[in-house]
Structure formats: structure tokens, C-alpha cells
Amino acid sequence: MNPYYSEEKEAFRQKVRSFAEQEIKPLAAELDTNEIFSTELSQKMGQAGLYGIDLDKKYGGQGLDTQSYIIAVEEIARVDGSQAATMAAHNSLGVSPIYNYGTEEQKQKLLPSLLNGDKLWAFGLTEENAGSDARGVETSATKTAEGWELNGTKRYITNGSSEMMAGITVLAQTGEKNGKASYSTFILDRNTSGFSTKRTLGKMMWRASDTAEIKIDKCLVSDNDLLGEQDKGLSQMLKTLDSGRLSIAAMGLGLAQGAFELALAYSKERQQFGKAIHNFQAVQFKLADMDLQIELARNLLYKACWLKDNGQPFGKEAAMAKLYCSEVAKNVSDEGVQIFAGAGLFQGADIERFYRDHRILRIGEGTSEILKLVISRHLGV
């Protein structure tokens, strides 16, 4: 018996895996090569119930737990990192703050179309001087008689420019409190005057996902567009990142699983010295190490999910899972390329795409260095 697993979750896994194999896998390489963001696939993921898996049914969610959502991210990433990025960013970063901090009016207005696949929502933290240092945010929100005026630029924003993008949650400075800058979060519709977005191309990884730079020039929003309490925006964003790290961990785990399966299958096909290369101890040991790391990563990630689902603190474990799963993705994809040898070095090979896609996982939603700092602080040092 596995304390983090059940027959129901296995059935759910197989359902998502079937969707990924049938709908995403046949298109993944072509979309990656040509840097095509697929509106059709993004809509299909919503229609398949992959948006809002762990949210209340009254808003269009499925009412399942965190682990079920993480399993879904893992299964999509097993096939394609780009589609997993679209799904994870929309769920963990886009929808989650609205669900956790929004008023009932905001939830009723936004969530139904964001959970059924019609629209996507973005998360606006990162700027030129704000990433690991969230307090480096320079986007400002100035109080007006009618509400707020927002000004600033956001970069590296996933789901930030496609026709499906409905808007973004923006972290902005709203003044000072106790001698320090204070921050609030705002809901910003993409049709707001002064809002502009441009897709960022030429990426090393997740080439079929939508990454954008967003400019916010004298955008006027009302008091009703404030998300949560004024001056609580930074803590809201950081709590959102705790949960978001579980998603990135799941992407690392799924990528590692997919790369391992590719390498294992290839090792049984590739012939050298008159026999399949999986007969050689050097390859056997690589495969054994890969399988071991994946098993350890899965247990660590599922423990973090269990803690969250049972109302216990999970910040340290989320940081550990994200850190470790991203390292496992690096190790397994690298050894996968080594097993493929020359055949794994060409664009269009799935293992080559997996190798490129793993690199963002040690940077996004907390670099590996920052995560070690987070873990250290949980230890009281």
C-alpha cells in the first residue's frame, strides 16, 4: 500500500495519459520546431477538465485534491513540456490567486471561462529587476479618484499574449508602509486602454508555449479590481509560488519519466557489438540510477501534496520537491541523450526536446539557489 496513492488516482492518471498520448504527443515535435502556440490544444485541455482540477465545482472546477492536479501536470509533461507549461501556469499562477484571494463577485465573473478552456490568465510578477527578488518590482499603482493607475513592464510572462489570454494579475507598488515599499495585486483585463503585449520568440525551451513581454501604460482600474487586501500583494504572490513550485516539480518529474521511457525503449532497439545496448552493464547502471531518482522524486513530491491536502505546512517540502525534481529532470534527460548518443542530438528527436525543456525548471518559480535559501530559512539558519 502506498500512503500517497489510490486506485481512483491511478484511474485519473490513465485518463490524463490517454489524452496526452492521443491529443498532444502527435503534434509536440512540430509545434516545438515551429514555435507554434496551439489554441486548439489549450482549449482541448480545458474541455478535458485539466483547468481547475482542485477547485470548487461551483466555479467549473472538478473538486479534486492537489495531488490529482499534480498527477495531471506530471502526465502532460511526460509528453510535452510546452503544453504542461501552459496548463501549470494557468492553473497555479493564473487562476489560483483569483480563487484564493478574490471576492465572490470576481470569482463568478472570471473563473467559469478560465476553467472551461475559453480563456487563459497570466501572472505578473517578473520584471527586468524583479525575479528572485520579488521586492524589486517597479510597476506602480497610483491611487486616483476613480480607482488606480497602473504603469510598468512585465517580462517572461507565460500565457501572456495569445488570443486566449483574457488578462493578468499584476503585482505593483502601492506606496510605503512602516518605511518599506508596500505591494498590492490587481486584476487587469487585456482590453484595458494602455495595455499591450508582445510574444517572446527564440526560446531554448517550451517553444510551443506562449511567453510575452507586457507593457502597462497608464492603465486605469477600479477599486473592484484590487485582488485581496491592499498592501498584502507580496505575501499573496509568495504563497502562490509555494503551490506553484509543486507544479514545476511535477513538470520535472513528468519530464524525467518521459525521458527515461524513451531511453529504456531505445536501449532495447539499438544494436552494438551484435546485441542490444541494454545488455551492457554501463547502460544498465544508467537506467537503474534514472529509475531510482524518479522514484525518490515522486515520493518527495507526493508527500508535499499530502501535507497541503491535509492542511499542514508544506512550504519547505514544496521547495525541496521543486529543487530535487528539477535536478532529477536534468540528470535523467542528460543520461537519456547519452544513451541515444548521436541520434539524440538532432532537432525533432523527443529526447533532444526533453533535454532543452529541462533547463527552465532550475530557474522558474524560484532558482535552485533561492530554493536552498528557502529551505535553510525553514531550518532556522
Q: Are 90 and 153 in contact (CB under 8 A)?
A: no
pLDDT at 242: 86
H/E segment holding residue 188: strand 180-189
As a whole number, the mean pLDDT across the chain is: 96
Enter the pTM of the model: 0.96
Taking only Cα atoms into account, the Rg of the chain, rounded to an integer number of angstroms, comes to 21
Cα–Cα distance measured from residue 126 to residue 55, given in angstroms and rounded to the nearest whole number: 26
Nearest partner of 250 among 86, 88, 12, judged by Cα: 88
Q: Which grid coordinates are listed for 21?
A: 498520448
How many angstroms separate the CA atoms of 209 and 164, rounded? 12
Closest-CA residue to 241 (of 296, 138, 322): 322
Catalytic residue chosen out of the listed positions 35, 138, 365, 369: 365
> How much is the average pLDDT of 329-348?
97
Report, as an integer, the average pLDDT of 322-341: 98
Q: Which helix (H) or strand (E) holds 153?
A: strand 147-158
Alpha-carbon distance 110 to 105, whole Å? 9
User: Mind listing the pLDDT tens digit for each residue in 274-307?
Assistant: 999 999 999 999 999 999 999 999 999 999 999 9
Mean pLDDT along residues 96-102: 97
CB 329 within 8 A of CB 361: yes
Where do the structural domains in the chain lie, given as residue ranges?
Answer: 7-120, 121-231, 235-378
| Mean per-residue pLDDT, 160-183 | 94
Q: Alpha carbon of 322 to those of 225, 270, 297: distances in Å?
A: 32, 33, 9
Q: Which residues pair with 152 in a beta bridge?
A: 216
Helices (H), 89-232: 96-101, 104-115
Domain 7-120 indexed as CATH 1.10.540.10:
yes
The set of cell numbers assigned to 8 is: 481512483
So what's the pLDDT on residue 1?
A: 62
What percent of the chain has pLDDT above 70? 100
Burial grade of 269 (CB within 10 A; 0-12, 13-18, 19 or more): exposed
* The pairing of beta strand 271-272 with beta strand 275-276: antiparallel
CATH class of 121-231: mainly beta
Q: Can you say how many angstroms the Cα of residue 359 is from the centroid of all Cα atoms in its chain?
A: 13
pLDDT of 134 > 90? The answer is no
Please name the residues in contact with 154: beta carbons below 8 A apart, sequence gap of 6 or more. Answer: 124, 125, 126, 127, 139, 160, 168, 170, 213, 214, 216
**pLDDT at position 5:** 78
CATH number of 235-378: 1.20.140.10
Q: Judge if 7-120 and 235-378 fold alike in CATH terms.
A: no
The type of residue at 347 is: Q
Q: For the CA atoms of 192, 230, 308, 310, what is the dihedral angle to 10 degrees?
A: -120
**DSSP character for 127?**
B
Of the listed ranges 193-197, 226-230, 301-305, 362-366, the one predicted with least confidence: 362-366
Catalytic annotation present for 365:
yes
Q: Report the percentage of the chain scoring pLDDT > 90.
A: 93
pLDDT value at position 343? 97
Residue 177 has a pLDDT of: 81
Place of cell 552493464: 281
> How high is the pLDDT of residue 176?
87
Q: Residue 9 has what pLDDT?
A: 94
Write out pLDDT tens, residues 201-214. Answer: 999 999 999 999 99
Q: How confident is the model at residue 257 (pLDDT cuts 50, 70, 90)?
A: very high
Integer Cα distance of 43 and 38 in angstroms = 9
CA distance linking residue 346 with residue 184, whole number of Å: 46
The closest alpha carbon to 172, from 207, 191, 147, belongs to: 147
Place 251 in a pLDDT band, splitting at 50, 70 and 90. very high
Query: Is pLDDT above 80 for 52?
Result: yes
